[in-house]
Structure 1
Amino acid sequence: MTTDAQEFWNERYAASEYIYGITPNLFLQEQLEKLQPGSILLPADGEGRNAVYAAKNGWKVTAFDISEEGMKKATQLASKNEVSVDFQVQNAAEFESAEKFDVIAFSYAHFPAEIRKNANQHLLKFLKPGGTVIFEAFAKSQLGRTSGGPKKEAMLYSIPEVKSEFPGLQFNLLREELVELSEGKHHQGEGCVIRFVGVKTGK
């Protein structure tokens, strides 16, 4: 059964161009450069730009998205770049893997409000103790701006919500800031985002 979210993203990703571009998210790139390559999980990876970047830089990459169209384009992008990525069509709240990852990177993974907290906490189960979460998403103060993001406030983030939805992390960086976005045609201009880097302290 196709959900409204799947239909939305399948329609958006059906475009011939890569609508968020083919270069990685700058914050993700900056943070990965500080880490020794290992295994990484990329939820809601869309058209694969972040997964392909990570694979090109020595990471063992698993990436998923709810959109079949997005994952088709991601597979094509990986092939063009001659890298191997385990791309899967999955729902975040139902993702399963026998593997635990060194890094989980959330790049604008705005899950539907009714599943978001459960999905985020479910995905943390697949992070190794001592593993790192890298996160960038639109803040609630983004509402009304034209530079991208969901139009529903409940799908946007506040810092208290981040702390609540990602328990068991030591936040080495957690801030809301205004950044200049240039990621394809849907992320353009000044955007209000929340960024964090957190390390898993428990089991």
Structure 2
Amino acid sequence: MHPTPSSDPAAFWEARYRDSGRVWSGRPNGPLVREVEGLRPGRALDLGCGEGGDAVWLASRGWQVTGVDISPTALERAAAHAAEAGVGERTTWERHELGRTFPEGTFDLINVEYLQSPVALDQDGVLHRAAGAVAPGGTLLIVLHGGWPSWQDEPPFEAEFPTLDGLLARLALPEEEWVLETKETLRRPSTSPDGAEGYREDHVWRLRRVGGGAAV
């Protein structure tokens, strides 16, 4: 699917899921597992949850999870996944067009995995609201693609990828309120649709809000 500048985000993402079978593997993202596995469970918010792989994994570890996505079809699949995994009672699903609406309340963990879009998305605005919704002692985990896959000769659309320091500068979180616990680039294998082997780099930021007792 090749978006156009006028693509409506809600229509684009709903078509992305509605017109396909399962889009994602259902497994949690690797950086989430590595960065969060040792945290004490509490209330978690998964932004752009898709079909629920991360949210279901968190719920299976004892977190009470709110999953958010713009696509009703994605949310239906996520709820079905949670029910099949036996964690339906620990998951809640909300539809939001992030940048316009945002879940209420505060959370001990906010997971932002690959919240990047070929159609309109106020990424900075969403990340600022996410930071504001982290409870004292809680964790903000952000994982974003750092660039196109190595096998991508011609990018399918224009995109701006963040740098490790650039994103932190854009967030401008008060140093007295936040501790930066992870800032690194991970490289993982990536295979093109026609089978070309390569890699993709992802940037990972884990920040802890000062105060409270979200101990490891």
Superimposed CA distance per residue, residues 60-111 of structure 1 (whole angstroms, 9 cap, x where no aligned partner): 00110111111111111111112121100012222031x2111111111115
Q: What CA distance in whole angstroms lies between the structure 2 residues aligned with 1:31 and 1:45?
A: 17
Which residue number corresponds to residue 180 of structure 2?
Answer: 171
2:41 maps to amino acid: P
Superposition deviation, residue 153 in structure 1: 2.2
Larger Rg: 2
2:205 counterpart of 1:199: no
Name the stretch that deviates more: 26-35 or 13-22: 13-22
Superposition deviation, residue 150 in structure 1: 8.0
What aligned pairs does 1:1-203 form with structure 2 within 5 A after superposition?
4-15=8-19, 17-84=21-88, 85-93=91-99, 94-97=101-104, 99-110=105-116, 115-139=122-146, 141-142=147-148, 145-146=151-152, 151-154=157-160, 156-166=161-171, 167-168=173-174, 169-181=178-190, 190-201=199-210
Question: Do the aligned partners of residues 195 and 88 (structure 1) sit closer, same or farther apart at CA in structure 2, a change above 3 Å counting?
Answer: same
Question: Do the aligned partners of residues 175 and 134 (structure 1) sit closer, same or farther apart at CA in structure 2, a change above 3 Å counting?
Answer: same
Unaligned 5+ residue runs, structure 2? 1-6, 192-196
How many residues align? The count is 191
Superposition deviation, residue 165 in structure 1: 3.5
1:90 maps to amino acid: H
Normalising by structure 2, report the TM-score.
0.78
- Please tell me whether the aligned partners of residues 143 and 151 of structure 1 are also in contact (alpha carbons under 8 angstroms): no
Q: What CA distance in whole angstroms lies between the structure 2 residues aligned with 1:52 and 1:68?
A: 17
1:95 maps to amino acid: F
Detail structure 1 runs of 4+ shifted over 3 Å in the superposition: 111-114, 143-146
Which residue number corresponds to residue 3 of structure 2?
Answer: none
CA RMSD of aligned residues (A): 2.5
2:29 maps to amino acid: N
- Please tell me whether the aligned partners of residues 121 and 165 of structure 1 are also in contact (alpha carbons under 8 angstroms): no
SS of residue matched to 1:199: strand
SS of residue matched to 2:126: helix
Q: What CA distance in whole angstroms lies between the structure 1 residues aligned with 2:93 and 2:120?
A: 24
* Higher-helix-fraction structure: 1
Superposition deviation, residue 116 in structure 1: 1.2
1:87 maps to amino acid: W
Superposition deviation, residue 144 in structure 1: 6.6
- Please tell me whether the aligned partners of residues 124 and 170 of structure 2 are also in contact (alpha carbons under 8 angstroms): yes
1:142 maps to amino acid: W
Q: What CA distance in whole angstroms lies between the structure 2 residues aligned with 1:86 and 1:5?
A: 22
SS of residue matched to 2:115: coil
Unaligned 5+ residue runs, structure 1? 183-187
Question: Do the aligned partners of residues 175 and 102 (structure 1) sit closer, same or farther apart at CA in structure 2, a change above 3 Å counting?
Answer: same
Superposition deviation, residue 143 in structure 1: 6.5
Question: Do the aligned partners of residues 137 and 160 (structure 1) sit closer, same or farther apart at CA in structure 2, a change above 3 Å counting?
Answer: same
